[in-house]
Amino acid sequence: MMRIFFFILFSLISLTASAQKILILGDSLSAAYGMKQQQGWPHLLQQRTQWQLVNASISGETTAGGLARLPALLEQHQPDAVMIELGGNDGLRGFAINSVKSNLSEIITLVQQHKATPVLMQIRIPPNYGPRYGQQFSNIYPQLAEKHQITLWPFFMDNIATNQDLMLRDGIHPNIDAQPLISDFMYNLLEKFQTE
């Protein structure tokens, strides 16, 4: 009986040790804005995946802020992969396209230099910022994915932002009802994702 117990215990420890770790480098969309951390999609996702999720998202974060924080995060957590969910706040503030693109490119390069796999999430901004700027902003992500030959994930807000019942009153952030849906969306992406 004791042998079976120790075998199960050893198997669980081995599974935990071998589980891949993904660092989420994001902004308020991934930081459970307006609710408890336990209600946010990263926490909900952690309950159903073997990946170890480290949520380093901060509300209000920009690409410059993420770039500044990244070296310490990589050193501390030693992730196998980094999901980059940044740029929304840059776009909402009308930052220069070249600046946003440069920051994201540096983030990707840092992740690769650390022998981790970067995965970039497509970000879009509300249409009231003008079609020209909005299109240029959206184009940043596939351009960088092609340049660096990395995975580009679809925006998890695409089917959320158009439903007022799933959004906070600010029209920008997903509410608590949207979190399980985002968790489902991200789970499907993670299940298909492999690090190099």
Which residue numbers are catalytic? 28, 170, 173
Please check whether residue 70 is in contact with residue 39, taking contact to mean a CB–CB distance below 8 angstroms.
no
CA-CA distance, 77 to 131, in Å (whole number)?
39
Q: Widest CA span of the chain, in angstroms? A: 68
Please check whether residue 137 is in contact with residue 91, taking contact to mean a CB–CB distance below 8 angstroms.
yes
CA-CA distance, 90 to 19, in Å (whole number)?
33
User: Residue 88 carries which side chain, given as an amino acid letter?
Assistant: G
Number of H helices, E strands in the chain: 7, 5
User: Residue 149 carries which side chain, given as an amino acid letter?
Assistant: Q
